[in-house]
Structure 1
Amino acid sequence: MKKILFPTDFSNVANNAFVHALGLAKLVHGELVLLHTYELPIIDSQFGVQNYKEIYDSIELSNLDQYKDEIPKLRKIAQENGLEAIKMNPILKDGDLLHSIKETVKKENIDYVVMGTSGANGWIEKLLGTNTGEAITSLEVPVFCIPEGSKYSKIDTIGFTTRFREKDKVALQNVLKIAKAAHAKVKCLYVETKDTDNSAAVYQEWETLFKDAPVQFFIIPGENARETIEDFIISQEIDVLAMISYKRNFFQWLFTSSFTEEMAFVSTIPILALHE
């Protein structure tokens, strides 16, 4: 059974992404691991050991009480969407969010991570520290990034941007697994610039390799990749866009406002971030 990690701060944005996580779990016959983290404060050394313990115990109890209050709300959301049968395993951890995600991915043998791309009280910003943009790319599992305005619906078409590199074939195979489960088709986009180093022979090789798969290839000339991708999303009615994180700062680029300003579709289209 597949395992899907869903980190949450219980905000409206996270609750919206939760429905997507439930939908993915149903699609791949998986279960959810619900992760909520909190950080204990650094306390002035003038406090005695007993005072430390009392303060920490109070904080841990407060977070535990909040967690106990929020979990039933998530179960209600699942029920309202007809997905109450999905198994959910709640985890409450103290410590750094990113570290907790990486630790949980490893410990629980996670197959996918689903998370909203904004959150309350700077929650998602905790993922954007000096080194975090590149650190999160060390996760070895696909990450579904769910924009605030994205409403869950059946996946009919998955877009996949490629450079026709050898390692892209593995990523496309992973996308096809999801497409097969969803009975969806995959449309692959390559933006061909004047500096392209690919050839007609490369395109033909890919066509032959995936001839029995529900894949269609689009080789579109253009010098502005982002505009070409946005046009592709609209014209081909893409429901989910799969992208490979070529850049080490991919996630930081993905979560910043400049990205949403330059690519308007990000407000409604989930992005499946695949790792090299």
Structure 2
Amino acid sequence: MKKIVVPTDFSDVAQNALVYALELAKTFEAEIFLVHTYTLPIVEHQFAPQNYQVLFDSLEWTNFELFKQEMPAIHALAETHKAEHIRITPVVMDGDLLFNLKEFIANEKADFVVMGTSGTSGWKEYFLGSNTAEAITNLNVPVMSVPVTARYDGINTLGFTTRFREKDKDALDQVIAIAKGLHAQVHCLYVETKDTDNTPATYEDWKDHYRHDPVAFHIIPNENIEETITDFIMSESIDVMAMLTYKRNFFAQLFLESVTEKMVNHASIPILALHE
């Protein structure tokens, strides 16, 4: 984790995500790229090309000026979190946010994204929302989505959901690497439903494989997966919950069927989305 990208519209949601990015940058000696995108207006065909260029230049200048006005507040936030030494580079791009993020990440070889979510729809927003869900699905680097209700108080415990598949180990290894940098613990959760194809031998193999790492495994029999995850977050004091992107489709189906009040009320920690 050396280059962290933080999309921003200078809102409280984005600033809250920046706090997490600053703290991670301090730990991993990373730099931050603040990416602000804007969309050019649709103009009529008779609009003269030279006038369109004037409009483009005007909008570009306006957005650069907006960034310039916001930078003192951003630097003040960094000082508050004792991160004034962190390099923060402002980036202004026109066009679609996701397209620009993919292009920027590829060009800069960025390796981590932190972005805010409004949290207005609770957990449902993580998996069915627009920009965050699109980023989780389409970007090829880890994406941490931070709800506006989250308050940074250290990251001491990371959660990770697994199906105990062999390819889950790569994602768990990423979480462990982050945890070691933070001097944190990892709590790995498997919700065992009645149609599970895993065996006690599988659980023991995983425990043995990670016996020298800061990982605790929790196998919880329950048919209500979303409620079990919520209870797990509360009982284990999870600060960040890590999940593989394959979970998105699963949760999308889950939320289309029902949204429990408990899930909505406890959506107050960041989700770290990893790719298979």
- TM normalised by structure 1 equals 0.89
| 3-state DSSP of counterpart to 2:231 | helix
Could you say if the C-alpha distance between residues 21 and 134 of structure 1 is closer, same or farther in structure 2, counting changes exceeding 3 Å?
Answer: closer
| 3-state DSSP of counterpart to 1:202 | helix
| 3-state DSSP of counterpart to 1:238 | coil
Identity of aligned residues (%): 56
Contact 2:115–2:132, Cα closer than 8 Å, also in 1:
no
Q: Distance in 1 between matches of 2:86 and 2:136?
A: 27
What does residue range 1-276 of structure 1 map to in structure 2 within 5 Å? 2-118=2-118, 133=133, 136-247=136-247, 249=249, 261=261, 263-264=263-264, 267-276=267-276
User: Which residue pairs with 1:122 in the alignment?
Assistant: none
| 3-state DSSP of counterpart to 2:178 | helix
Q: Distance in 1 between matches of 2:148 and 2:139?
A: 23
Structure 2, unaligned stretches of length 5 or more?
Answer: 120-124
Deviation at residue 158 of structure 1 after TM alignment? 0.7
Could you say if the C-alpha distance between residues 118 and 179 of structure 1 is closer, same or farther in structure 2, counting changes exceeding 3 Å?
Answer: same
Question: Deviations 1:83-108 (Å, cap 9, x if unpaired)?
Answer: 11111121111111000111111111
Deviation at residue 261 of structure 1 after TM alignment? 4.9
Question: Deviations 1:118-156 (Å, cap 9, x if unpaired)?
Answer: 39xxxxx9x979999567523221111101100112111
How much is the aligned-residue C-alpha RMSD, in angstroms?
2.7
Contact 2:98–2:134, Cα closer than 8 Å, also in 1:
no
Contact 2:116–2:146, Cα closer than 8 Å, also in 1:
yes
Contact 1:112–1:143, Cα closer than 8 Å, also in 2:
yes
Report how many residues are paired. Answer: 269
Letter in 2 for 1:165: R
Deviation at residue 58 of structure 1 after TM alignment? 1.6
* Structure 1 segments of 4+ aligned residues over 6 angstroms from their partners: 127-132, 250-256
Of 44-53 and 174-183, deviating more is 44-53
Of 189-198 and 73-82, deviating more is 73-82
Could you say if the C-alpha distance between residues 28 and 253 of structure 1 is closer, same or farther in structure 2, counting changes exceeding 3 Å?
Answer: farther
Could you say if the C-alpha distance between residues 113 and 134 of structure 1 is closer, same or farther in structure 2, counting changes exceeding 3 Å?
Answer: closer
Q: Distance in 1 between matches of 2:81 and 2:132?
A: 34
Contact 1:230–1:265, Cα closer than 8 Å, also in 2:
no
Could you say if the C-alpha distance between residues 55 and 30 of structure 1 is closer, same or farther in structure 2, counting changes exceeding 3 Å?
Answer: same
Deviation at residue 215 of structure 1 after TM alignment? 0.7
Q: Distance in 1 between matches of 2:14 and 2:192?
A: 36
Q: Distance in 1 between matches of 2:131 and 2:2?
A: 30
| 3-state DSSP of counterpart to 1:141 | coil
Of 66-75 and 219-228, deviating more is 66-75
Structure 1, unaligned stretches of length 5 or more?
Answer: 120-124
Letter in 2 for 1:85: H
- TM normalised by structure 2 equals 0.89
Deviation at residue 267 of structure 1 after TM alignment? 3.3
Contact 1:144–1:273, Cα closer than 8 Å, also in 2:
yes
Q: Distance in 1 between matches of 2:152 and 2:254?
A: 20
Deviation at residue 251 of structure 1 after TM alignment? 9.4
Question: Deviations 1:34-67 (Å, cap 9, x if unpaired)?
Answer: 1111111121112222222222222111111111
Could you say if the C-alpha distance between residues 260 and 105 of structure 1 is closer, same or farther in structure 2, counting changes exceeding 3 Å?
Answer: farther
Q: Distance in 1 between matches of 2:194 and 2:46?
A: 65
User: Which residue pairs with 2:122 in the alignment?
Assistant: none
| 3-state DSSP of counterpart to 1:198 | coil
